[in-house]
Amino acid sequence: MVLEALEPHPNLESLYIKGYSGRYIPGWMESSTLRKIVKINMSDCENIRCFPKLGELPHLEKLYLKNMGVEYIIEEEVGSGHPVKIQFPALKELHLTNLPNLKGLSKEHESKEAFPNLETLLIERCYSLDIPRCLSLEFEKSLTCFPIETLAKFSKLRTLTMTGVKEISVTREGLQALKELTRLNLYSCQTMRSLPEGMLRHLTALNILLIVNCREFVELPEDIKHLHNLEFLLLHDLPKMTRLPQAFQQLISLYLIDLPELESLPDQLPSLNSLYVIHCPKVMSIPALPNLKRLSIIACPQLGRRCQKGSGEDWHKIAHVRSIDISPN
């Protein structure tokens, strides 16, 4: 009754509700009161099972839900004879955290009539969720197999983050949806040994690639050479990776951290501007890097010795670098 009475001003742009213990959301959340709302954040409302009808709010760009009992984000079903209204037409960010009863984004099968402008979807600890139906963009949930084709309806996808995925399956339809993908992040994919052959050649816009804490990851596929826009590569905590592809023509920044079995650096890095080699003890030497401006070598005994100023065998290759940091640990 208290929350029902606290009807906000019609010009409200941001709403945060925390710790509401009622079962039903107040009526003003489903009325024209929130026509100018841009951001809604709801947390610790465990008793709410039926989510309010917010899909027609014209300016809602960010929706964050945490610790709630809702089963669907879009509850209403489209009846026969009624025109189909686009749900969440302006939404760009949707974060779903710890929603144990969530079964899907919509009671009906997801279609192009919902989330047309969604760019980021984060799903964390939603253990009842039907993954193929939810068409997630970012995952914080262990999966046996992530089918890329589930992304096919999100044409504006820019960032894809997968955490705990054991395997990625690819189809031509799914990969076509990733043509505008600029960033790919893989975190804690403990049994993944590599990316599927042929996957990277379709990511023509990819600019940033991060692979972190993937204990079985051995190598990058050869088709990474097709990533002509790749400028930033970070490989961190990959204990079984032994080698890298020999050429990265457009790469500007390369971070190699905690790769104990890596034996060498790529031979061709003509555009490289920054290089960080940290805890890679088996790396023996450095290639010629004509455009390098920043070099950091930490806990790499062999490489550090060869790059010592004046006396190192590889010093002539890096003497032109403006900023050099070499540390034994």
CB atoms near residue 189 (< 10 Å)? 25
- Among residues 90, 108, 135, the one where a domain terminates is 135
Pairwise CA distance, residues 33 & 68, whole Å: 23
pTM: 0.68
Percent of the chain beyond pLDDT 70?
82
Sign of CA dihedral 278, 283, 284, 286: negative
Q: 29 in a domain, yes or no?
A: yes
Question: 60: domain CATH number?
Answer: 3.80.10.10
| Whether residue 214 sits in one domain with residue 245 | no
Pairwise CA distance, residues 112 & 173, whole Å: 16
| Phi, psi (rounded to 5 degrees) for 47 | -85, -10
Contact 163, 178 (CB under 8 A): no
For residue range 287-329, list pLDDT tens digits in order: 999 999 999 999 999 999 999 998 899 999 999 999 999 998 7
Beta pairing, strands 120-124 & 93-97: parallel
Residue type, 95: H
- Among residues 230, 250, 271, the one where a domain terminates is 230
Residue reference for tokens 């970012």: 138
- Among residues 230, 265, 294, the one where a domain terminates is 230
134 pLDDT above the threshold of 60: no
For residue range 46-58, list pLDDT tens digits in order: 998 888 888 888 9
| Whether residue 18 sits in one domain with residue 116 | yes
How many domains is the chain partitioned into structurally? Answer: 3
Q: 236 in a domain, yes or no?
A: no
Give the range among 32-41, 208-217, 233-242 with minimum mean pLDDT: 32-41
Give the range of the structural domain holding residue 284, as residue numbers without chain letter.
Answer: 241-329
Q: Which of 244, 275, 282, 233 is nearest to 260 (CA)?
A: 282
Q: Which of 299, 319, 291 is nearest to 307 (CA)?
A: 319
Kindly list the distances between the CA atom of residue 314 and the CA atoms of 166, 317, 319, in Å, as whole numbers in the listed order.
40, 5, 9
| Whether residue 188 sits in one domain with residue 108 | no
Pairwise CA distance, residues 192 & 312, whole Å: 38
| Whether residue 251 sits in one domain with residue 222 | no
